[in-house]
Amino acid sequence: MKCTLITKRWLQSGLGFATIILAHSSVLPLPLIAEDDAQKYNDGIVEVPLGLKPLPNVKDNPLTPEKLALGRQLYFDPRLSSDMTVSCASCHDPKKGWSNGDATAVGIDGQRGGRSAPTILNTAYQQFQFWDGRAGSLEEQALGPIENPIEMNLPIEEAVQRIADIEGYQTQFKKVFGEGVTRENLARAIAAYECTILSGNAPYDRFKAGDTTALSEQAQLGMKLFFGKANCSGCHSGPNFTDNGFHNLGVNFHGETPDLGREVISKLAGDRGAFKTPTLRDIARTAPYMHDGSLATLEEVVEHYNRGAVANEFLDEEIFPLKLTDEKKAALVAFMREGLTSDSYPDHEPPTLPE
């Protein structure tokens, strides 16, 4: 399904800053639907934790227990890689914040990409997938790593045939989709499972719901800074702590071959060096940080912003030196580490796979 997203941002040109309206892409997210409708297509199958809204994009891929069980098996199945050693869970591991605990993603034969493995947590609420937003739905995202030569390196046609040759999978696909294995249904099953990877019910959510003891005094100070002087909520906003936008933070932007980020997709100079705002839910579990994994700790992240990031001509206009004291920097870290860590973290175990 195609739709148009209209968003406003600043484009730098030789004539100064001009406000423009962007609209267009052949690959954009499924339209968000009303909360009542979203709940209908979920139908109580997935319990949405405190602090989150109903799942926003399940209308075209309704959730059923059988589909979720199938998607979970496929997510953990290394047979979707060419040498049968790498699964989706290899880079997006529940034990490592649904990332991989490393600076960059690692695929078959130990090959490394240039970017970190973004967490799957709450990705159902993300309007764009991948750091540069090149996929507009979870269904489209699900097939990308399978085909990528440095990730799983398996052409989708071969992946479909390999799964179809497994009797248990063939039976499940027919039960869930009324037909055998196809690329579309392979993507739908994985995407449906990824919709269930939800992080909420954190101390912050209980504090907002009226439990004044849910956050320590230090974390409460950090929360005030987060939504106030530190301006973190300028980008990390809403229930999922992301604006779903793209921003240049001055990370890995210098040198002979800077990562141009979103510009490669949008072809707009204003997107140069810009990357998707990640969720901050369970951020303490997903180190290292930034699109290139270059910052090892939350303390380093806060210090990066405190000094105003790394100056460049495309640096996001929301970023400026914060000049926070050590006490306030520690409070910000405490809010993210303590306040946004879920008490019902989805620590899924690998399922039994069809022989």
82-103 pLDDT, tens digit each:
999 999 999 999 999 999 999 9
Find the angle CA(77)-CA(81)-CA(86) to the nearest 5 degrees: 65
Q: For position 26, what pLDDT does the model report?
A: 28
106: which DSSP letter?
B
CATH of 203-339, one of 1.20.1510.10, 3.30.2290.10, 1.10.10.10, 1.10.760.10: 1.10.760.10
Report d(CA 7, CA 112) in Å as an integer.
33
The encoded tokens of residue 146 equal 């399978």
Distance of CA 40 to the CA centre of its chain: 24
70-84, 93-107, 281-295, 310-324: least confidently modelled range: 310-324
The encoded tokens of residue 64 equal 């059923």
Q: For position 189, what pLDDT does the model report?
A: 98
Determine whether the annotation assigns residue 236 to a binding site. Answer: yes
Q: For position 257, what pLDDT does the model report?
A: 79
Determine whether the annotation assigns residue 88 to a binding site. Answer: yes
* pLDDT single digits (tens) 320-331: 999 999 999 999
Q: Where are the alpha helices (DSSP H) in 135-182?
A: 138-147, 156-164, 167-177
CATH number attached to the domain at 35-194: 1.10.760.10
Q: Where are the alpha helices (DSSP H) in 198-256?
A: 203-208, 217-227
Reading phi first (left if > 0) and then psi (alpha if -120 to 50, else beta), residue 207 is in: alpha
Report d(CA 200, CA 135) in Å as an integer.
25
Are the C-beta atoms of 282 and 342 separated by less than 8 Å?
yes
Domain boundaries along the sequence of the chain? 35-194, 203-339
SS3 196: coil
Asked, colleague to colleague, whether 35-194 and 203-339 share their fold, the answer is: yes
Q: For position 15, what pLDDT does the model report?
A: 28
Q: For position 19, what pLDDT does the model report?
A: 26
Report d(CA 24, CA 344) in Å as an integer.
38
Give the percent of the chain with pLDDT over 90: 77
Q: For position 255, what pLDDT does the model report?
A: 65
Q: For position 252, what pLDDT does the model report?
A: 75
Which residues sit opposite 112 in a β-bridge?
106
Q: For position 48, what pLDDT does the model report?
A: 93
Q: For position 27, what pLDDT does the model report?
A: 29
Which pTM does this prediction carry?
A: 0.86
Q: For position 130, what pLDDT does the model report?
A: 96
Q: How high does pLDDT run on average in the chain?
A: 87
**What is the four-CA torsion angle of 278, 59, 79, 116, rounded to 10 degrees?**
-10
Determine whether the annotation assigns residue 3 to a binding site. Answer: no
Give the percent of the chain with pLDDT over 70: 86
Kindly state the average pLDDT of the residues 213-229.
98
* pLDDT single digits (tens) 151-177: 999 999 999 999 999 999 999 999 999
Report d(CA 194, CA 188) in Å as an integer.
10
Kindly state the average pLDDT of the residues 187-191.
97
Kindly state the average pLDDT of the residues 31-53.
64
SS3 195: coil
